[in-house]
Amino acid sequence: MTDRDQFYVQLDGPATIEDYHWLMEQRVLKFRPEDVSYSPQPKHAEVCRTCVHFFKGEAAHRNTCELMRPHSETESVAPCGWCRFHTTDYQTFGIIDKENKS
């Protein structure tokens, strides 16, 4: 590997298995469930499956979130779960917006 910019790894040639393993070790930092008040049960009208940060991992058979990582590697983010950073547009955060107005 020769150069990295903000979003991509620049390689000298095709990616090798070593490059793959290196990339898998470069996991993005995320919040813990308690940091975002995550609950696998809905608390408000907003649920994980309607959030832009929610991804359904078909191949891995689990759901993930861009912001929060469950404590267990095998744990999945619940589609009907909830956290304080639910958003459908990256700008409006229901519960946080309500908290900031009070």
Q: Which domain holds residue 39?
A: 30-101
Answer whether residue 42 is part of any domain.
yes
Answer whether residue 15 is part of any domain.
no
Taking alpha carbons only, the member of 101, 76, 93 closest to residue 36 is 93
Strand (E) or helix (H) holding 54: strand 54-57
Asked if pLDDT for residue 1 goes beyond 60, the answer is no
- Report how far residue 77's alpha carbon sits from residue 69's, in angstroms, rounded to the nearest whole number: 8
Asked if pLDDT for residue 5 goes beyond 70, the answer is no
Residue 24 DSSP label: H
Answer whether residue 94 is part of any domain.
yes
Better-scored residue on pLDDT, 5 or 25: 25
At 21-78, the pLDDT tens digits run 988 888 788 999 999 999 999 887 889 999 999 999 888 788 999 999 999 888 899 9
pLDDT at position 93, please? 86
pTM, whole model, 2 decimals?
A: 0.73
3-state SS, residue 55: strand
- Report how far residue 23's alpha carbon sits from residue 20's, in angstroms, rounded to the nearest whole number: 5
Answer whether residue 56 is part of any domain.
yes
Answer whether residue 75 is part of any domain.
yes
Answer whether residue 18 is part of any domain.
no
Asked if pLDDT for residue 2 goes beyond 70, the answer is no
